[in-house]
């Protein structure tokens, strides 16, 4: 099963439905660490796509534009993902 929510991954693992990859912050701030669920570090890079959506009927605020600009600057510094296998 695939889910974008780390809390869901933790809950499913806690219910012994399998293992999963979750954001450590969701694990550390949620109840699962206190319920016996164990987190292990993952050292491999995981490539994923993220989208930023804005309403089409109006432009973005100056703050949002500045945020998008900062994201673009940092994105250019990241290593390029491996080519998709066909």
**pLDDT of res. 47:** 76
Report the 3 state secondary structure along the chain: CCCCCHHHHHHHHHCCCCCCCCCHHHHHHCCHHHHCCCCCCCCCCCCCCCCCCCCCCCCCCHHHHHHHHHHHHHHHHCCCCCCCCC
- Percent of the chain topping pLDDT 70: 94
pLDDT in tens, 47-62: 777 788 888 888 888 9
Q: What is the pTM of this model?
A: 0.53
């Amino acid at each position: 099963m695939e889910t974008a929510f780390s809390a869901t991954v933790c809950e499913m693992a806690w219910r012994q439905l399998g293992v999963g990859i979750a954001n450590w912050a969701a694990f550390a701030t949620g109840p699962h660490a206190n319920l016996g669920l164990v987190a292990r570090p993952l050292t491999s890079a995981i490539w994923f796509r993220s989208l930023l959506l804005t309403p089409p009927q109006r432009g973005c605020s100056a703050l949002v534009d500045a945020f998008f600009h900062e994201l673009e600057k940092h994105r250019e510094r990241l290593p390029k993902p491996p080519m998709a296998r066909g």
